[in-house]
Structure 1
Amino acid sequence: MRIHRPAALLAVLALALTGCGAEVAPDRAAGRSADGHYPVTVENCGVPTTYRQAPRRVVTNDVGIADIMFALGLQDHMAGYVMPAYRGRIDAVAWKDAYDQVPWLSKKAITKEIALDARADLVFAGWNYGFGEDTNLTPASLKKLGIGSYVLTESCRNGASGGSRGVLPPLEALYADLENLGKIFHVEDRAAALVKKYRQQVAEAAAKAPAPARRPSVFLYDDGRDKPLTAGRYAGPHDIITKAGGDHVMKDLKDSWTTVGWETVVARDPDVIVVNDYGTPTGAQKKAFLKSYPPLANVSAVKNDRIYVMDYADLVESPRNPAAVGALARYLRGVRTTG
């Protein structure tokens, strides 16, 4: 999608004049709101940001991020969402009506042009979830256009090089985003209720998980033939696997989503492989590849056909994570370990 230069200029001027609600300089905040809530400051990926008012035209990138907004009932604050059609089911969620109500702006990658065309005042995305220097779509580049940003906490960079991501345990990252957005949009009660509900769901699943002595080891397979893309300790699958009663074999990786070598997978010999299902190849095709790939022939999960397919939207940071813990826990309870 391309926006004509005059329209883009008018959009930038309008945003600059009206203000998006996000200000990194607290001294520019113009007094308190009538109810005393604004201005409000939250810390996002270590950066304090002050909001003079709730953003009104949010554009989100990817399914889990849209889910977070919809679970909080914030669809009236959205200008639209960007999401490839294959990134998660949206027809059987509690917030399906919100998906029907809010414009689906693009089924491709988010761009500055999309944000400008939507007259966005805030872009909610993440590093490698829409933000990236390679596309010149960053919080800094959006700020120059008068557009604010909120970075998905699962994707926060944790080093000076900017290569690895993750600063909180994955479920805590979800709770942090819910609480931050609750403050930004003045829906703290909704956020608190969701966090309480999700913590309870996870606790109930964990209580029924396999005993520590019988915890099956689990590897997350996202994609890749030459090198598998997997999840480290800061990606959603780590907490989903761990709370469900599994031993995440890549828990020593201080990153979120990253690649490893097949020799590492073979050496760690997981009892179970969880497959991330999205796009092409499909989950079924990925499972077939794993079962036919010669180097994996003696891996326990492959030998015993313990390959469990889960939906993408369950595995990236989203309000679907707690239910995913329960689903995986039920599967793992039926697994006999090789130890």
Structure 2
Amino acid sequence: MRKALSLVALLVSGCGATVAQEPVAAQPVTVTNCGKPLTLSRPPARAVTNDIGITELMFALGLGDRMAGYVIDSGQTAGVESSPWKADFQRVPKLAEKINKEVVQAAAADLVFAGWSYGFSESEGFTPDSLGALGIATYQLTEACRNGVGKQRGIMPPLDALYTDLRNLGTLFGVSDRAEKLVREYTEAIASVAPDGRTPKVFLYDDGKDQPFTAARNAGPNQIIAKAGGRNIFDDVDDSWTTVSWEAVVQRAPDVILINDYGGEVGTVADKEKFLRSHPGLRDVPAVKNSRFFALPYAALVEGPRNAGAIKAFAAYLRG
């Protein structure tokens, strides 16, 4: 894993966004969020975010001073430590480790930025509708928008979802120039990646012993893998993060296994690699036989401003 760790260092370079505020328009603005219009009468001043990637989107746009706080669990501590926006995480209040209505009401939130399986949950009674009944606006992470088939998520390619959210947030907060600058930077960085022409098959391993949890077509890793020069073995599954079977993994015979590194929350990278090596059904899979494992941090694999760096790091590994 030494090679993997050295390449992951590419993801943690950079600096937090500390910029002068642009003039903010007072008139109502409307964007399309998860296929529906979202209108705000004024730019939010007390936004609350849930999860590290969502929070880093706000910081990348220089919107820390428009936040009442953020919610992340203790398992994301390592992600905060490696974040280019670590200083912003220190300045903006951490409100809790689990988001709920009481947390956002106590923070006097005027906007909650979260997503399905990124905070929103019917079973927890924490949904856009329940918050709307309290007079709190919500913005949903586009990568996690439901597509109308049960609880399946994903309505556009993951990078398009990233750019859509940046532009929508730019409109809602009156910082469209910053949003367009970030979109240009990310698209140029990704365009500069030069795969070597091979297309290794890649399995994203998130977690799961009885059944693996992985990334399908609409999750961030699908395009991270593709733009780096690989092919996600589950790119034919019309969902975001989802559960599959070990039999399907074996049948699709990945050449590389990309491990989602939670920083210890659900086992270390070493623990996950050890499990994969010891799984009887995986012994003859090319990735295991040839010791082709690579790890990227959770914050780089979910939708967020570290995605471009993740593509560059994984492409460098695949070329090597």
TM-score (norm 2): 0.90
Alignment of 1:199-278 (within 5 A): 199-205=187-193, 208-211=194-197, 214-278=198-262
Hey, what does 1:150 align to over in structure 2?
A: 139
Q: Does 1:73 align with 2:62?
A: yes
Secondary structure of the residue aligned to 1:134 is: coil
- Of 168, 176, 194, 2:164 maps to 176
Q: Distance in 2 between matches of 1:92 and 1:227?
A: 30
8 Å contact from structure 2 (residues 218, 239) kept in 1: yes
Structure number with the bigger relative contact order (C-alpha 8 A, sep ≥ 6) is 2
Q: CA deviation at 1:152?
A: 0.2
Q: Deviations over 1:249-302 (max 9, x none)?
A: 110010000000100000000000001011121221111100111110000000
User: Residue 174 of structure 1 aligns to which amino acid in structure 2?
Assistant: L
Q: Deviations over 1:151-195 (max 9, x none)?
A: 00000000142x100001001100000000000000000000000
Q: Does 1:103 align with 2:93?
A: yes
Secondary structure of the residue aligned to 1:76 is: helix
Q: Deviations over 1:63-99 (max 9, x none)?
A: 0000000000000110110001222522343322211
Distance 1:35 1:244, change over 3 A: closer
Give the structure with higher Rg (CA).
1
Identity of matched residues, %: 54
Hey, what does 1:281 align to over in structure 2?
A: 267
Q: Does 1:312 align with 2:302?
A: no
Hey, what does 1:25 align to over in structure 2?
A: none
Q: CA deviation at 1:35?
A: 7.4
Hey, what does 1:193 align to over in structure 2?
A: 181
Residue correspondences, number: 295
- Of 290, 294, 302, 2:280 maps to 294
- Gapped regions of structure 1 (runs ≥ 5): 1-33, 335-339
- Gapped regions of structure 2 (runs ≥ 5): 1-22
Distance 1:264 1:40, change over 3 A: same
Q: Does 1:93 align with 2:121?
A: no
Q: Distance in 2 between matches of 1:296 and 1:167?
A: 32
Secondary structure of the residue aligned to 1:86 is: helix
Q: Deviations over 1:37-59 (max 9, x none)?
A: 62111000011011111111111
8 Å contact from structure 2 (residues 26, 43) kept in 1: no
